[in-house]
Chain A
Amino acid sequence: MENISSVWPLAAVVISLTAAIPILLSERRPNLREGWTLLAGLGKLSIVAALLPGVMAGKRYVFTIAEVLPGVPIQLRVDAMGMFFALVASFLWIFTSLYSIGYMRTLREHDQTRYFASFAVAISATIGVAFSANLLTLYLFYEMLSLSTYPLVTHERNADSRASGRKYLTYILGTSIGLVLPAMLIVYAAAGTLDFTTGGILAGTTLSPATLALLLILFVAGFAKAGVMPFHAWLPAAMVAPTPVSSFLHGVAVVKVGVFSILRVIFDIFGPDLLRDLNYGVVLTYFVSITILSASLIALTQDNLKRRLAYSTVAQLSYMILGAGMLTAAGMTGGLLHIAMHAFGKITLFFCAGAIYVASHKKYISEMDGLGRRMPITYAAFFLGSMSIIGLPPFGGFISKWKLVVGAAEGGQMVILTVLLVSSLLNAAYFLPIVYRGFFMPPREASVAQVREAPAFCLVPLCVTALGSMALFFYPDIFLRLAHLALGE
């Protein structure tokens, strides 16, 4: 693999970070402020896209920010796996920004400047995680993401958001300092490096299988952004945030950063071979299966739409770890692909939930009867998004789920196969009633009659992402190719 020294990875990361400054300075001129946000978003996507052909050709772009510890610099490196994630995140950020403008302005939210500035920092951190060349750099951006999203989660500044913010930080920061940091140090002490290397860096070390098992637990639990039970409770709590935050951060960026970190650790720190030899993959898949099933069951019971989506996210995140844990080619590809497929599907659903709130100020599913007829576009998009999550053709979700099923079958893991099947049924059971209620149940309240579609700023992005998740079924090539490259095939 060819390494090319280039400043573009840094540019891709910091462009939105620096945009935070003009955003803060143009507090009094909202249009200019949003202009900066969109400009940074487009700039970021173009830089990422410009790096794409090189990565597809097997090149890696490297930039060293600072030599901080012996053998472990703060370094950015664009490889296929990072590119995969960065592409998804930077593409969806633009639509989230548009959506944010519509949402925040329609609701006349306070402190919009701080909101957009924090958002800009958060997306920088997300791309930083994607492009990290080693575990230390990843940790750095991971923490940056945790901290920059705190003002977003607690945006409402009331007692509720205060409690949620506290929970959010307790889980996220507590696990990263308490579990990931020691794990990282043990790895460093044993291997002398933290560099992400295809095939892993722990294979030749003197660590005992018990220590390795401990490390795996520390990492999987420590990257609590991935929401593996029992460290999932922050995600439903974080739903007090404004919906664009929930949709992008808690549908795409934050949670997938958690999954991405775990996949990085599995692929590039442990290495699939080592885990296969120790037979830890199976243990991992069984462990996350519990999360998949129980989170889906909990989702069934939620009446608050965003909380139902949150529990669905918890379950879906574990799919990705499940795929990686299978340690078969198809399974790992499926896990990786699911990052993209779920992102498009889930962001659509969140956008729809936000649009419904903007248009009708309704949060609970039981109040939404008959709303579909008043907001047909939103509900149609919601339907498309849920089909993708359930995993039906012709939607992107089908491809990743199919790969997962193939992976499970290849590994002969009938239990996992059953889990996948049952969970898909559960997905259908908690999504489709929402659509059904919207279109076919008579409205309970008279106020529903006055509801109209949300403004175009909200509507366009959700249509784009809904159609996007369909397009991914027909044109998954880029992501497939990147996934294959990432797994070294």
Chain B
Amino acid sequence: MSETNLHMVILAAPLLAAFAVNLLGRLSRAWIAPLTLGALGISTLASVGILFQVLGEGTIRYTVGNWSPPFGIELVVDPLSALMLLLVSSVALVATVSALKSVQLEMEGREHLFFTLYLILIAGLVGLVLTADAFNLYVLLEITSITSYGLIAMGRGRAVLSSFNYIIMGSIGASFYLLGVGYLYILTGSLNMADIAGILPGLNAGAAVATAFAFLLVGLWIKMAFFPLHGWLSPAYSHAPTGAGVLMAPLVTKVTIYLMIRIMFSVFSPEYVFSAHPGIQTAIVWAAALGILCASALALGQRDLRKMLTYIIVAEVGYMVGGVWLANANGMTGAVLHILNDALMTLCLFLSVSAIASRTSSLSFDSLGGLYRRMPLTMAAFTIGAFSMIGVPPTCGFFSKWYLILGGVEAGHWGFVAALVISSLVNAVLFFRIIEIAFFGNIPGEPVVQEAPTEAPWSMLSPLVVTAVALIVVGLGSGRIVSGIISLTIPGGF
């Protein structure tokens, strides 16, 4: 038991605000913004507090309702989850500033419903980061998924179809995960992660443990859209309301990767994961490399800005999965750093997408012509986000890529190294195609019509600018982040 309950504050603030928003938001729209921002602001402050607390005093363990583990549900805040808490709450806060405006533009009158789901989704993500109980994790996983389904279905046109598709895929993933938990429970009689981790090595049940591990992994891979289980992501995220996209795209896949790390190293152990089944580790890194290449190729085929970004998300998932499975400290550092960086750069790009969407009829490449003149600040931020995706120093994307490639070099896994380099090149092509269109206009040879700047509303622009600056600040600070926080998250045995 720790003295403070800051982590409960982080969890409770958005959850309680969700109900308040639903009730008060019906009465007046004016309640929504202060409640949402207030709750997320409190969460963010508390996450900062808890990060310093964890760094100072070490891991915090908290038992919900004083039911002592392994029977009660335990919440654990170690350096990695503290970092994730800060990431989730701050990204959510920044995204919300923009989402408030875009939701108002897109679905006037239904805002309280949107933000109810939105806040529960955030609470679910926070819960996922905190929990140390395998079954509780399943429930929270479904809470985040159900709210996501709802948020996506609030979009126009094909959104409902994509949402249904996501429901089917998401449920398969969750069911697989649940099956894995069932196997673990049969084997160990426990659901507490630390408890299971203590019992597993003493068991002489190779096949059953392997089956449990495989189900857990595949379940999470579906949820994180690891290639080739990525089919649901692109339609879901590109048809979702822009306000939902700015929250889900940066966070949901990244939190799921965090969960994979949790399962791999808090339930199982690095020795088990990497050495019990020789060949698996290499095979998964190859799968990640292949996933990166295929997703990049798919991104090349898109003619819509948001669709393209969704495929880049799929490719980035491959970066992180591959990094974790490289089985060395550099790869792991790269993966964790990339969770952070990728969330920020995806946020930056999706925020610019929603800023652009507020001023253009569509997001297809053809309607992006001349944007540099019309929306100079938005495009400047977009450019920084793009550079970070390509991996141009000193933006943060470069540094995580550096660790990932270094891990690949150390592991002698040249396929992964090549995939990362090629994907950087493909990203360069992808983004410069857009930059070129936005710089030149559409029709080659014709002079660009000189239009007066029509920037996005300030409420969408300010979070975007903040994120773009954060990309550079985090990049320059990555040395401190790695030595101060991430080095503590590398599990023993690396």
A177 touches B391 (CB 8 A): yes
Binds A, one of B195-203, B305-313, B440-448: B440-448
CB distance from A404 to the nearest CB of B (A): 35
The answer on a CB contact under 8 Å between B476 and A157 is no
Are A177 and B409 in contact, with the CB atoms below 8 A? no
- Cα–Cα distance between A182 and B409 once the two chains are bound (Å): 9
Task: Answer whether residue B34 sits at the interface, using C-beta atoms and an 8 A cutoff.
Answer: no
A interface: dominant SS:
helix
Determine whether the beta carbon of A69 is less than 8 Å from that of B476.
Answer: no
Return chain A residues, CB-CB under 8 Å to B428.
169, 173-174, 177
Q: Is the CB of B444 within 8 A of A143?
A: no
Contact B447 A157 (CB under 8 A): yes
Q: Shortest CB–CB separation between residue A143 and chain B, in angstroms?
A: 5
CB distance from A180 to the nearest CB of B (A): 11
**Inter-chain contacts of A178 with B (CB < 8 A):** 421-422, 425
Knowing A147-B387, A186-B409, the reply to whether A69 touches B444 (Cβ < 8 A) is no
A69 touches B392 (CB 8 A): no
Q: Which residue of A lies closest to B433 (CB)?
A: A166
Bound complex: CA of A174 vs CA of B429, how far in Å?
9
Known A68-B478, A177-B421, A178-B421; judge A165-B392 contact (CB<8 A): no
Which A residues are CB-close (under 8 A) to B271? none
What is the minimal beta-carbon distance from A320 to any residue of chain B, in angstroms? 26
Judging by beta carbons under 8 Å apart, are A65 and B409 in contact? no
A69 touches B436 (CB 8 A): no
Closest A residue to B383 by beta carbon equals: A147
Q: Known contacts A157-B439, A162-B444, A174-B425; is A188 also within 8 Å of B406 by CB?
A: yes
State which size class the interface on B falls in: 35 or more
Interface string of B128-156 (1 = CB under 8 A from A): 00000000000000000000000000000
A73 and B480 alpha carbons, distance in the complex (Å): 11
Would you call A67 and B444 a contact (CB within 8 A)?
Answer: no
Quick check: A182 and B421 within 8 Å, CB to CB? yes
Residues of B within 8 A of A70 (CB): 479, 482-483
A169–B432 touching, CB < 8 Å: yes
Residues in B399-432 with C-beta less than 8 Å from chain A: 399, 402, 405-406, 409-410, 417, 421-422, 424-425, 428, 432
Contact of A69 among B402, B421, B447, B448 (CB under 8 A): B402
- Could you write out 23 A-B pairs with CB less than 8 Å apart? A66-B476, A68-B399, A69-B399, A69-B479, A69-B482, A140-B394, A144-B392, A147-B392, A154-B439, A157-B441, A159-B444, A169-B432, A173-B390, A174-B425, A177-B391, A177-B425, A178-B422, A178-B425, A181-B391, A182-B405, A185-B409, A188-B406, A189-B410
Please state if A136 and B393 are interface contacts (CB–CB under 8 Å): yes
Bound-complex Cα distance A143 to B448 (A): 28
Tell me whether B475 is interfacial, beta carbon within 8 Å.
yes
Asked if A143 contacts B392 (CB within 8 A), the reply is yes
Shortest A174–chain B CB gap in Å is 6
In the complex, what distance in Å separates the CA atom of A144 from the CA atom of B425? 16
Specify which of B405, B406, B436, B476 is in contact with A65 (CB 8 Å cutoff): B476
Q: In the assembled complex, which residues on chain B have CB atoms less than 8 Å from the CB atom of A69?
A: 399, 402, 478-479, 482
Q: What are the interface flags for A147-162 relative to B under an 8 Å C-beta threshold, 1 for contact and 0 otherwise?
A: 1000100100111001
For A68, the chain B residues whose CB sits under 8 A away are: 394, 399, 475-476, 478-479
CB-CB under 8 A from B109, the residues of chain A are none
Q: Which residues of B contact A143 (CB under 8 A)?
A: 392-393
Is B477 part of the binding interface, using a Cβ–Cβ cutoff of 8 Å?
yes
Cβ contact of A189, chosen from B391, B406, B476, cutoff 8 A: B406
**Interface residue? A431 (CB, 8 A):** no
Residue interface mask A118-161, B partner, CB < 8 A = 1? 00000000000000000010011001100100010010011100
Considering only residues 155-209 of chain A, those with a C-beta below 8 Å from chain B are 157-159, 162, 165-166, 169, 173-174, 177-178, 181-182, 185-186, 188-189
Q: Give the contacting residue for B393; candidates A139, A159, A185, A188; CB below 8 A.
A: A139
Residues of B within 8 A of A174 (CB): 425, 428
Q: Provide the bound-state CA to CA distance between A143 and B425, in Å.
A: 14
A residues less than 8 Å from B424 (CB atoms): 177, 181
Are A67 and B479 touching (Cβ within 8 A)? yes
Q: In chain B, what residue has the closest Cβ to A162?
A: B440
Give every chain A residue within 8 A of B447 (Cβ-Cβ). 157-158
User: Does A74 lie within 8 Å of B421, measured CB to CB?
Assistant: no
Q: How far is the CA of A185 from the CA of B414 in the complex (A)?
A: 12
| Docked-complex contact A177 and B390, CB < 8 angstroms | yes
User: In whole angstroms, how far apart are the Cα atoms of A173 and B390 in the complex?
Assistant: 10
Which residue in chain A gives the minimum CB-CB distance to B437?
A: A162
A162 to B447, CA, bound (A): 12
Instruction: Write the A69-84 contact mask toward B (1 if CB under 8 angstroms, else 0).
Output: 1100110000000000
Q: Are the CB atoms of A166 and B436 closer together than 8 Å?
A: yes
Contact A185-B444, Cβ < 8 Å, known A66-B477, A74-B476, A140-B394? no
The interface residues of chain A lying within 8 Å CB-to-CB of B392 are 143-144, 147
In the complex, the answer to whether B436 meets A162 with C-beta atoms within 8 Å is yes
Chain B residues, CB < 8 A from A173: 390, 428, 432
> Among A136, A139, A151, A185, which residue has its beta carbon within 8 angstroms of that of B439?
A151
| Complex contacts, A67 vs chain B, CB 8 Å | 479-480
Contacts of A182 in B (CB 8 A): 405, 417, 421
B85 to chain A, nearest CB (A): 24
Shortest 7 CB-CB distances between A and B: which pairs? A67-B479, A140-B393, A159-B445, A66-B476, A159-B444, A68-B479, A189-B409
**What residues of chain B lie closer than 8 Å to A166, measured between beta carbons?**
432, 436
How many angstroms from the CA of A76 to the CA of B213 in the assembled complex? Answer: 49
What does the 1/0 interface line of B454-493 toward A look like (CB < 8 Å)? 0000000000000000000001111110110000000000
Residues of A within 8 A of B417 (CB): 182, 185
CB pair A157–B479 under 8 Å, yes or no, is: no
What is the chain B residue whose CB lies nearest that of A158?
B445
Pairwise interchain contact A74-B394, C-beta atoms closer than 8 A = yes
Q: Kindly provide the distance from the CB of B361 to the nearest chain A CB, expressed in whole angstroms.
A: 23
Interface string of A198-230 (1 = CB under 8 A from B): 000000000000000000000000000000000
Residue from the list A66, A158, A185, A186 in contact with B479, Cβ < 8 A: A66
User: In the complex, how many angstroms separate the beta carbon of A463 from the nearest chain B beta carbon?
Assistant: 36
Contacts of A151 in B (CB 8 A): 439
Question: Closest CB of chain A to B315's CB: distance in Å?
Answer: 15
Which residues of the partner chain B approach A147 to less than 8 Å between Cβ atoms? 387, 392
Contact A181 B436, beta carbon cutoff 8 Å: no
Those of A73-105 within 8 Å (CB) of chain B: 73-74
**Minimum C-beta distance from B331 to chain A (A):** 12
Bound Cα distance from A74 to B480, whole angstroms: 13
CA distance A178 to B425 in the complex (A): 7
A157 to B442, alpha carbons, bound, how many Å? 11
Name which residue of chain A comes closest to B387, CB basis. A147
* Smallest beta-carbon distance A179→chain B, Å: 9
Collect the chain B residues with CB atoms within 8 Å of residue A185's CB: 402, 405-406, 409, 417
Complex-state Cα separation, A188 to B399, whole angstroms:
14
Chain B residues near A165 (CB-CB < 8 A):
436
A189 to B330 CA separation, bound complex (whole angstroms): 11
Q: How far is the CB of A208 from chain B (nearest CB, A)?
A: 14
Who on chain A is nearest to B432 by CB?
A: A169
Question: How far apart sit A162 and B438, CA to CA, in the bound complex (Å)?
Answer: 12
Name the residue on A nearest B477 (C-beta).
Answer: A66
Contact with A along B2-29 (1 / 0, CB 8 A): 0000000000000000000000000000
**Bound Cα distance from A174 to B432, whole angstroms:** 12
Given A139-B393, A140-B394, does the pair A181, B444 have CB atoms closer than 8 Å? Answer: no
Q: A144 CA to B398 CA in the complex, in Å?
A: 13
Q: Name the residue of chain A whose CB is nearest to the CB of B414.
A: A182
In the complex, residue of chain A having the shortest beta-carbon distance to the beta carbon of B401: A181
- Chain A nearest CB from B435 CB (Å) reads 8
Bound together, the chains give a CA A182 to CA B424 distance in angstroms of: 12
Which chain A residue has the least Cβ–Cβ distance from B476? A66
Q: Which residue of A lies closest to B424 (CB)?
A: A177
Chain B residues with CB below 8 A from A189, complex form:
406, 409-410
Shortest CB–CB separation between residue A470 and chain B, in angstroms? Answer: 41
Among A140, A147, A177, residue most surrounded by chain B Cβ atoms (within 10 Å):
A177
